[in-house]
Structure 1
């Protein structure tokens, strides 16, 4: 054993300790000492177990103390560091890393010491002095022994100048986490569940994406860039899957308005490439699963497409274009219907994702649609009756465009909805071969009872009329015959208050807007509806309380009513409202019309 005995510093690396012994005993480079004691220098440079044991024997220290501060090779480019398996990329080699302030203190106290934490690539800031560590690339073959006395010749004022140039910064939370974990302390659960390599690499790569963007080339990043990336990424990885998803979705949202159909490689760039083609980190860890799910949940990909090495067994999302191709539909028509169904926004980007099930359901509806102009023939009735069916929501129009959108029109109706309505009417009607004098068509019965034709249809569907027949060989409303006396008898019960057409007419609004107000109930600006429930089958007839309609009209108004009241052009009314700062209580984008509170309008604005 060497004498005199010099203790091993708990913060020192084994290589540094060997270099210090060489200076204290022989004042020669560490290579000479190692060879004198039959320690192969190249083995000592990589902290080989046999080299550490021999060094411990000759120095009289515990080999466990040396091993605790060294990354011990256990395989090709794989090391054991305090029970954690890490790769070569986790280590700072081949760079010699040091803190000039620590070296200045060492110079005052004695020989310089290389701290074991400096051997970790993620350690970039001195925790004691809070300055960036300096990195020196190897220039000679023996620089791999990191002898600080030789590699950093600066002393005194020169060293002080290096300290001043370094600047100040706190230790990054990622660096703190890694060192604490190697000291045996628990950290955030998700990070602790990853290998140290995976936790560090995924945090830094995510930080690079967020701080520098997808186009960043990783080799161009400096040590300071990586330090900043680790700080940014740790804000998210420390919160586990929730935080990581939040970060990835924030990046995804940046491409909401992008032209074309950007894929995962375009959106996530350097992060995607590192996850998909990592050479140094064969298994990126759980972040790959999270990233894969974010991609497949937000980007339309065909079945069989490989996402980070995993094949997509079935398509999960469509774009308008891919859905149109699959369903053999015109993409413009399909887009209009998807907008009307609320599946996509008014002017979506080309890559806007559509859930497969939802998209196919809408597409099948498009295939079943009947144009409004063809409804009279499909239902076998007059155009006024078709309008009444729409007004009472016995059939629902498919609109192109959202409420308030320019050119919003009803274009079609689902063929299945028509079939269901006609089927219900036929189901409650007996079939008769010939006409009879006491039974008349629906429109004629409505005329005699002084009700609307749609009210007669409500009576049929509600089971009020016992004598309803359908002429054999004919279909639809035109084939029905009813007893006008029965219609008269039930008219009072089926027509209390106002019909939708009467209520919406009193408010001077189109029926589409009227039903939007009904659908908003019980919000502030909305209309309550009274349903006449027909006991036999539960059919409901929509009616409105006149008092509620009157009350709504007294509380809320729109520009057309204001213009009529003050004999102004609608454009002039809109201009005066905007200039005065009066805001609507519900907007055109919500229901198709701007509504204002009556008591919020001053008469002087329109005088």
Structure 2
């Protein structure tokens, strides 16, 4: 063992330590020292096990300490560093990396030392001085030995100039995580579950995607760009799957309005390509699964499509076009119905994803539809009761056009829904062989009891009536027979307050707007509905408190009522409101009409 003994600095690399021994013991450069002690120079430069073992014997430094600060070859272009396997690309080689401020301190003590951290590509900032490290390209053949005394010629003022040129910056949390992990300290759970190289690659590529987009060419990125990408990416990967999903889904949103059908490779580019590698040295880790899940949750693909090495067992999403083909429907009509059903936005691009179940449900409804115009005839209803059924939400119309759109109309209704309604009504009835005195059709009974026909329907569904019959061989509401006197007895209970149609007439709004206001309750601009529950405990009759409706009418107003109040055309009302930049408290896009606070409107605006 060499004397005097020179202790091994725990921050120093074995190669730098050997160079220091050469200067002290033979007063010459590293290569001669290594050959004098039968250490193959190239083996030492590569941190091979035999070279490290011999250096430990010669120097007296513990072999374990030397190995801890070196990336030891473990296979072809693979290295082992403190229990972690990394590829050659993980290391800074062939570049020589150093901190000019650290070298300036070393110069004052007499010997420059190469820190083991500088050998890692992810280490780009000096943790002591918080300035960017200098990255020096490989020059002469002996640069591989990283002899900082010789390959970094700057001294004194020149070295100080490098320090002053460096813009101060903190160490990125990404770099800190890597060093802490190599020191055996636990970090974020998801990152710790990946190999070190997988964690670094996922973090930096995600950062590049977020910061620069998929069009960025990786070779064009500077060292500082990669440092910034690590900072950005770590903000997501440190949060685990939730954070990564947030970043990936935000990237999808950037392509929401893209023309055509952008694929996963176009949207994610290098992150997608890195996740598709099958080489064992490039296994992407869990980010490939997360990316695959996000892709399959956002891009419509047929069953059997391979996504990052895994085949889709079944289709998860449709586009309008693919759903129309599958269901043999006209794509334009299907699109209109999907918009009306709220499954897709009105201006959805062609690639907008539609959940398979929702899409097929809407398509099935289209195939089962009965046109509203012929509903009374096709389903054995009376003409007046059709609108009342829709008004009280006993039937749900399929619309053309979104809320507030001019020409929005009820085009059809699901015949399955009609069948369920008729089935409930018939379930309450006893079969009757022939007409009987005292029993009359629903419409006639409503007329005699002076209530709307829909009220009679509610009484039947709610279990209020005991005498309900159905003529044998007939179907629909027209087949039902009831006792008008029994209806009169329940009139006070079932007709308390205002009906939907009466509330609509009072407020001068459509029934759809009324229900939009009900659905918003208890928001400021909303309406409360009083539900009357029948004896069966299941069916509910919607009624409105006249005082509540009057109060709403007093506090809120819409253009049609403004026009009526001031005898001004609606178009002129709308123009003046826009001109004065009066904003509605509830918009047309939300419920189909703009509502304003009455107290906010000055009368002189319309006079």
Aligned to 1:41: 41
Q: How many angstroms does 1:121 deviate by? A: 0.9
How many Å separate the matches in 1 of 2:483 and 2:33?
Answer: 118
**Other structure's SS at 2:262 match:** coil
Alpha-carbon spacing, 1:40–1:566, altered in 2? closer, same or farther (3 Å): same
Cα-to-partner distance string for 1:36-62 (whole Å, 9 max, x where unaligned)? 222122211211111111112222322
Q: How many angstroms does 1:412 deviate by? A: 0.9
Alpha-carbon spacing, 1:458–1:99, altered in 2? closer, same or farther (3 Å): closer
Alpha-carbon spacing, 1:548–1:171, altered in 2? closer, same or farther (3 Å): closer
Alpha-carbon spacing, 1:560–1:155, altered in 2? closer, same or farther (3 Å): same
Cα-to-partner distance string for 1:474-500 (whole Å, 9 max, x where unaligned)? 322333344444444544443333221
Alpha-carbon spacing, 1:541–1:106, altered in 2? closer, same or farther (3 Å): closer
Aligned to 1:77: 77
Aligned to 2:334: 334
The aligned runs of 1:75-154 (5 Å cut-off) are 75-154=75-154
How many Å separate the matches in 2 of 1:308 and 1:103?
Answer: 46
Aligned to 1:316: 316
Aligned to 1:415: 415
How many Å separate the matches in 1 of 2:167 and 2:222?
Answer: 16
Q: How many angstroms does 1:532 deviate by? A: 3.4
Q: Is 1:89–1:280's contact at 8 Å kept on the other side of the alignment?
A: no
**Other structure's SS at 2:269 match:** helix
Q: Is 1:87–1:280's contact at 8 Å kept on the other side of the alignment?
A: no
Cα-to-partner distance string for 1:382-415 (whole Å, 9 max, x where unaligned)? 4322222222322221223332133321111111
Cα-to-partner distance string for 1:81-134 (whole Å, 9 max, x where unaligned)? 222222222111111112233333333332322221111111112223332222
Cα-to-partner distance string for 1:400-447 (whole Å, 9 max, x where unaligned)? 333213332111111111112222333334444544565444333333
More moved, 467-476 vs 168-177:
467-476
Structure-1-length-normalised TM-score:
0.93
**Other structure's SS at 1:108 match:** helix
Residue 369 (1) aligns with residue 382 (2) = no
Aligned to 1:593: 593
Cα-to-partner distance string for 1:131-167 (whole Å, 9 max, x where unaligned)? 2222222234433222223322333333333333333
Q: Is 1:562–1:573's contact at 8 Å kept on the other side of the alignment?
A: yes
Aligned to 2:225: 225
Q: How many angstroms does 1:582 deviate by? A: 3.1
How many Å separate the matches in 1 of 2:233 and 2:461?
Answer: 63
Structure-2-length-normalised TM-score:
0.93
Q: Is 1:378–1:476's contact at 8 Å kept on the other side of the alignment?
A: no
**Other structure's SS at 2:577 match:** helix
Long gaps (5+) in structure 1: none
Q: Is 1:130–1:171's contact at 8 Å kept on the other side of the alignment?
A: yes
**Other structure's SS at 1:398 match:** strand
Q: Is 2:132–2:169's contact at 8 Å kept on the other side of the alignment?
A: yes
More moved, 351-360 vs 39-48:
351-360
Cα-to-partner distance string for 1:335-391 (whole Å, 9 max, x where unaligned)? 222223322223223232222222222222222111112212222234322222222
Alpha-carbon spacing, 1:562–1:32, altered in 2? closer, same or farther (3 Å): same
Aligned to 1:549: 549
How many Å separate the matches in 2 of 1:409 and 1:532?
Answer: 29
How many Å separate the matches in 2 of 1:522 and 1:165?
Answer: 62
Aligned to 1:155: 155
The aligned runs of 1:415-564 (5 Å cut-off) are 415-432=415-432, 434-435=434-435, 438-536=438-536, 538-564=538-564
Q: How many angstroms does 1:2 deviate by? A: 3.4
More moved, 170-179 vs 448-457:
448-457
Cα-to-partner distance string for 1:502-543 (whole Å, 9 max, x where unaligned)? 221111111111222222233322223333333157433333
How many Å separate the matches in 1 of 2:41 and 2:102?
Answer: 26
How many Å separate the matches in 2 of 1:11 and 1:526?
Answer: 68
Alpha-carbon spacing, 1:161–1:475, altered in 2? closer, same or farther (3 Å): same
Alpha-carbon spacing, 1:279–1:163, altered in 2? closer, same or farther (3 Å): farther
More moved, 267-276 vs 522-531:
522-531
Alpha-carbon spacing, 1:494–1:46, altered in 2? closer, same or farther (3 Å): same
Alpha-carbon spacing, 1:588–1:29, altered in 2? closer, same or farther (3 Å): same
**Other structure's SS at 2:532 match:** strand
How many Å separate the matches in 2 of 1:443 and 1:400?
Answer: 30
How many Å separate the matches in 1 of 2:564 and 2:318?
Answer: 48
Aligned to 2:292: 292
Alpha-carbon spacing, 1:452–1:108, altered in 2? closer, same or farther (3 Å): closer
More moved, 191-200 vs 531-540:
531-540
Aligned to 1:179: 179
How many Å separate the matches in 2 of 1:437 and 1:520?
Answer: 47
Q: Is 2:399–2:408's contact at 8 Å kept on the other side of the alignment?
A: yes
Long gaps (5+) in structure 2: none
Alpha-carbon spacing, 1:530–1:98, altered in 2? closer, same or farther (3 Å): closer
Q: Is 2:443–2:453's contact at 8 Å kept on the other side of the alignment?
A: yes
RMSD over aligned CA atoms reads 2.5
The aligned runs of 1:200-279 (5 Å cut-off) are 200-277=200-277, 279=279
How many Å separate the matches in 2 of 1:65 and 1:533?
Answer: 80
**Other structure's SS at 2:410 match:** strand
Aligned to 1:24: 24
